[in-house]
Structure 1
Amino acid sequence: MARASALLSPRSYVDGVRLGSGPALRVTDPANLSTVAEVPTAEPADFERAVLAARRAFDGWSRTPAAERAGLVLRFLSSLEARRRELEDTVVAETGALLPSVRTLHVAGAIEQARAAVRIHASLPEEEHNPVPLDDLVTGGRVVTSVIGWEPLGVVAAIPAYNVPLFLALWKVVPALLTGNTVVLRPSPLAPLAVLAAGEAAAEAGLPPGVLNVLVEEGTAGAVLMTSAPEIDAVSFTGSSAVGAAIAAQAAPTHKRVMLELGGKSAGVYLPDAVGRAADGVAVVMRAMAGQGCVLQTRVLVPQETKRRVLAEAADRVAALRLGDPRDPSTDVGPLISDAQVRRCEDHVAAAREHGGRVVAGGRARRDLGGHFFEPTVVDLDDTANPLAQEETFGPVVSVIGYRDLDHAVELANDTVYGLSGAVFGAADRALAVARRIRSGTVLVNGGYFGPFASSGGRRHSGQWRERGREGIRAYQQLKHITATAL
């Protein structure tokens, strides 16, 4: 167990001042149900104050030269880096994520990818000539200039999810700040501590008051204000599709830009020559934040004639995975974030059984382990009509479905309201052909690339706009067309 003295317990940060006079929010370690911290919450009036502070700060920050903004953002990231050890301990304690992944992805990876965003932003022009045919540029004996420019949106409301809290927060905050926006950031009440540390880092880095405001609450009143206030120009949210729909509705009357990365029910398609990799793919889902990832391939599609073999191999792999303390190097699968998430897994597995699914491994909650644990679970499904193949579980539950041929595999992969991510494994030429037919914002072929220079984003119920890469920077900018002629 992490030392209590090593854990961060920061407060909300608004307009350059630390605050929090509301009831204490109890943050619980999902592995052992102990109290990690009790943090004073922000009141609705504090959220109003943060929105107005960000509005006031916008003019000055947006006029600050881009290079100067980038330097302050890098100092902000260095301040977070100086807290690396405390951030690691805190993320493990509040999320239950395995310590190795916290070190490589949640903290170091988050900071390094955010630094890469500074490089990407520096490579993008603030203005560039708009290609127009030469004959159209000469009118009435005068030469016309057509230019495309990019400007900040204004005040951004940023609301990340709990599963990779700091990583998701930085991929909203950093592009927004680099492009001249000011930000009101609200972490998930389930895992707020590492994100709250961004307020202290902003103060240390010398960000002007009001440029970055960070507030925590236990309910949703502040979030509703952030997504509906007329002073907010854009909302960036990562979370469930249901909440994303509510946010879009709240933002609609004031015509905000709404950037959503929502749920997923991603398919991993294994071609006949790659069936031997399917069991490994199942284990990856279980080990990755106990299945709490919207891009994870929770539907495994294999040739029908090999399905029995894949189920047996997957069951063997899953049976060997060890549930336990995320700080223990021998642990393979950590806890879920809450008992509500455990109950969701129970309900989804029960519904799968009721509709003909067969559990071949796991399938039970493990509250006897002292935390929010659910066994890594593999379910044999006949088709995608089963509710387990349609609804996002967000836990260590994977379904295996057989396909007749590649056309059928594509049909099954696309039989979902989601469209966030997917994967195809097999010989590169055939795998690429299948990948091009999958309706998803990202498709990985034999692993692919995950990094700051490639954007991700969804379709349909999985959201809109992109994060990371060039597109993730441009999402926080408004395009402006300027055309002019000489007098």
Structure 2
Amino acid sequence: MSLLEINSFAAGSWIAPGTGAREIENAVSGEVMARAGNDGLDAQAMLDHAVNIGGPNLRAMTFHDRARMLKALAAHLNEKKQALYDLSFATGATQADHMIDIDGGIGTMFVFASKGRREMPDAHVYLDGDVEQLSRSGSFLGQHICTPMRGAAVHINAFNFPVWGMLEKLAPTLLAGMPAIVKPATATCYVTELAVRIMLESGLLPEGALQLVTGGLGDMLDRLTCQDMVSFTGSADTALKLRSAPHILKNSIRFVAEQDSLNASILGPDATPGTPEFDLFVKEVHREMTAKAGQKCTAIRRIMAPQAQVDAVIEALSARLSKTVIGDPRAETTRMGALVSNSQKRDVLEKAQILGAEAERVFGDPENFDVQGADADKGAFLPPMLFHCADPDGAQRVHDTEAFGPVSTIMGYRDLDHAVALVNRGGGSLVASVITHDPEVAREVALGAGAFHGRIYFNNRDSMKESTGHGSPLPHMVHGGPGRAGGGEELGGVRGVMHYMQRTAIQGSPDILTAIGRQWVPGAAEKDGGAHPFTRNFHELEIGETLHTPLRQVTLEDIETFAHFTGDTFYAHMDEDAAQRNPFFPGRVAHGYLLISFAAGMFVEPNEGPVLANTGLDNLRFMKPVQSGDSIKVRLTVKKKTPRNEEYGEVRWHVTLTNQDGELVAEYDLLTMNAFQS
């Protein structure tokens, strides 16, 4: 069988393996199947290609353009994923494991595409937070903005997720407008290379947006500037070596790390045998020990159970593990495949031996286990191994040694404080989980352990049918953790995009801030569109276009009619004496919602037109009460425009209500959907 030649894609060209190429073995058969790596790659040329071609091409697109690109890329990968499945079996992964890696990665791209369209502007500048008033009159203001960094994002990924590991970094990077250079782990880079080929051949990516290094990076990290970034997933030792390099430190180059961690799961004191929570706990631990053969950065390495339940957990978990079929990952009956390589198998056995000095192996014999459909001696197979540590307080290695495979250690705790102390001894993790039906248990663990863990996953009978599992990082939530876990964060929706952008404090006049952010700021110039703004379609409306209404008087009859019609007869509107005793009111006042209703009637254009729907109000505040006899007028200004699909977009209007003396009465943002065509 001929070897697969795993190429790199550098500066617009595919480059075959050359000097320094490394052989890659099939995890199932142990046979050499591919070679990858090239010491001749021109690192500076790759960086220049990203900076001079990829960056400008991406930054020319708006956030929405890039979000649409991500959606199209995800859809294209989804159509081609069978080829990724077929190749990925050689990594030892089962079909169920493919769903985590390949489908999970594609799903992550879809989520970032959606969030980019819904939570980011159709613009080139992202506004971070509200406008800050820096002067008394409002003529000098501040605003934080985020713009794409002007360098390249170097992604160094781990072997266990050759597709998800790439896409979960790539999606927020491209959405931010920054080009990426992807360096997968060599052991599984052949799957990553195929995914990159599929994306590049789609024609959806602008030139220079994505490059691939299959093998070593050479001296690339020594050539980075303050505009570049490194995002790393892997071991704590490698992360320390890379992030502490003098060049990285001297130039303050951003370095985000997601490292190995001793993730833990706690069985709540209320979750006794026979409860749904006990069964759920056993199921979760089993899944985390066997999915991807335990080669997950979020897998459960330490199991905490009430001392009285330790034996029951060992018995139940061992029974479930004994039914796990190990073998050829292509077989439908296989539930756990091989580790990624025989070298990884040896590493796991070495770490298991270290754990064995402090804990007793109570399930799984690496010298005696069944493998179906494959050669156990040639392939990188291991059985699930469960250890029991009888003295977790006196132990050290069970709290600092990770066997990156199907290995976990159970230990007992005396009370919840003890459980929290044990779970925190990992020195920082990506995730801890708690299976409990007691909200107070959840609160106590969150307060006691939150500072040590990037994510805490709670589950019980109420959420178990829809929960995603202890080991599932979701693109909506941050993925990372303090201390040993690397101190970084990935994913987390738009938070993940911000890693690839620079936050800058902008200071200036309202007109300056409006021009930079493409969002109208109070105090900036207003525009007269001529016709009523509700008669003008989405594209015709301009930022700052404003309508001023005449005054309308509010009468006592208005207040009482509104009170009886709505049922809102609160004393401040109906009882003069009671209202005067209230420190906020001078006497009977108009309902705030009456004023909002009047405002709509004052600025609305009633005839059929491009305004399709009122979809809500944001940031509503009432500043000054209105009494009968007072008058109000409205200012309606186009604040922001956001396309939503091919037919219409969202218009955000800034609305202010002032009284006859020009004093501000109420303020809010009105949201409407406006057609592109009148």
Tell me the TM-score normalised to structure 2 length. Answer: 0.66
Give the structure 1 partner of residue 366 of structure 2: 364
**Which is greater in Rg?**
2
Equivalent residue letter for 2:208: G
Equivalent residue letter for 2:476: F
Query: Is 1:380 aligned to 2:375, yes or no?
Result: no
CA contact (8 A) 1:423 1:435 kept: no
- CA drift of 1:309 comes to 2.0
Give the structure 2 partner of residue 33 of structure 1: 30
Question: Structure 2 stretches of 5 or more lacking a match?
Answer: 273-277, 370-374, 513-678
Give the structure 2 partner of residue 467 of structure 1: 490
Give the structure 2 partner of residue 210 of structure 1: 208
For residues 195-234 of structure 1, what are the structure 2 equivalents within 5 Å? 195-200=192-197, 201-217=199-215, 220-222=216-218, 225-226=220-221, 229-230=224-225, 233-234=228-229
Aligned-partner Cα distance in 1 for 2:430–2:256: 14
Equivalent residue letter for 2:304: L
Deviation digits for residues 14-63 of structure 1, max 9, x if unmatched? Answer: 22221125145433221111344344x33343333212211212234323
Taking structure 1 as reference, are residues 368 and 81 closer, same or farther at Cα in structure 2, changes over 3 Å only?
A: closer
| Aligned partner of residue 420 in structure 2, secondary structure | helix
Give the structure 1 partner of residue 448 of structure 2: 437
- CA drift of 1:466 comes to 1.9
| Aligned partner of residue 368 in structure 1, secondary structure | coil
Query: Is 1:392 aligned to 2:415, yes or no?
Result: no
Instruction: Give the helix-richer structure, 1 or 2.
Output: 1
Question: Structure 1 stretches of 5 or more lacking a match?
Answer: none
Deviation digits for residues 254-277 of structure 1, max 9, x if unmatched? Answer: 211111111111110001332433
Taking structure 1 as reference, are residues 129 and 484 closer, same or farther at Cα in structure 2, changes over 3 Å only?
A: farther
Query: Is 1:452 aligned to 2:475, yes or no?
Result: yes
Partner of residue 233 from structure 2, selected from 227, 231, 238: 238
Deviation digits for residues 217-276 of structure 1, max 9, x if unmatched? Answer: 1xx453x52365338610011111111111211322221111111111111000133243
Equivalent residue letter for 2:496: G
- CA drift of 1:349 comes to 2.4
Aligned-partner Cα distance in 1 for 2:173–2:128: 24
Give the structure 2 partner of residue 191 of structure 1: 188
Partner of residue 108 from structure 1, selected from 100, 103, 107: 103
| Aligned partner of residue 484 in structure 2, secondary structure | helix
Deviation digits for residues 452-486 of structure 1, max 9, x if unmatched? Answer: 22221111110133222221122221111111036
Query: Is 1:180 aligned to 2:203, yes or no?
Result: no
Query: Is 1:42 aligned to 2:38, yes or no?
Result: yes
CA contact (8 A) 2:355 2:401 kept: no
Aligned-partner Cα distance in 2 for 1:129–1:172: 21
Taking structure 1 as reference, are residues 127 and 320 closer, same or farther at Cα in structure 2, changes over 3 Å only?
A: closer
- CA drift of 1:369 comes to 4.5
Equivalent residue letter for 1:128: L
CA contact (8 A) 1:8 1:194 kept: no
CA contact (8 A) 1:420 1:458 kept: yes
Deviation digits for residues 125-155 of structure 1, max 9, x if unmatched? Answer: 4343754665x433xx661121211111231
CA contact (8 A) 1:186 1:216 kept: yes
Equivalent residue letter for 1:436: L
- CA drift of 1:158 comes to 0.7
Aligned-partner Cα distance in 1 for 2:380–2:84: 22
| Aligned partner of residue 163 in structure 2, secondary structure | helix
Aligned-partner Cα distance in 2 for 1:196–1:47: 18
| Aligned partner of residue 480 in structure 2, secondary structure | coil
Tell me the TM-score normalised to structure 1 length. Answer: 0.90
Taking structure 1 as reference, are residues 427 and 228 closer, same or farther at Cα in structure 2, changes over 3 Å only?
A: farther
- CA drift of 1:209 comes to 2.6
Aligned-partner Cα distance in 2 for 1:376–1:318: 7
Deviation digits for residues 374-422 of structure 1, max 9, x if unmatched? Answer: 1211111020524133211111111010000011010111112232110
Give the structure 2 partner of residue 292 of structure 1: 295
CA contact (8 A) 2:132 2:143 kept: no
Moved more, 189-198 or 7-16: 7-16
Give the structure 2 partner of residue 148 of structure 1: 144
Query: Is 1:402 aligned to 2:426, yes or no?
Result: no
For residues 2-401 of structure 1, what are the structure 2 equivalents within 5 Å? 11-23=7-19, 24-39=21-36, 41-57=37-53, 58-93=55-90, 95-102=91-98, 104-122=99-117, 123-125=119-121, 126-128=125-127, 130-131=129-130, 134=133, 136-138=134-136, 143-153=139-149, 154-200=151-197, 201-217=199-215, 220-222=216-218, 225-226=220-221, 229-230=224-225, 233-250=228-245, 251-275=248-272, 276-277=278-279, 278-355=281-358, 357-364=359-366, 368-382=376-390, 383=392, 385-401=395-411
CA contact (8 A) 1:121 1:470 kept: yes
| Aligned partner of residue 173 in structure 1, secondary structure | helix
- CA drift of 1:339 comes to 2.0
Give the structure 2 partner of residue 476 of structure 1: 500
Identical-residue share of aligned pairs (%): 24
- CA drift of 1:363 comes to 3.9
Taking structure 1 as reference, are residues 77 and 202 closer, same or farther at Cα in structure 2, changes over 3 Å only?
A: farther
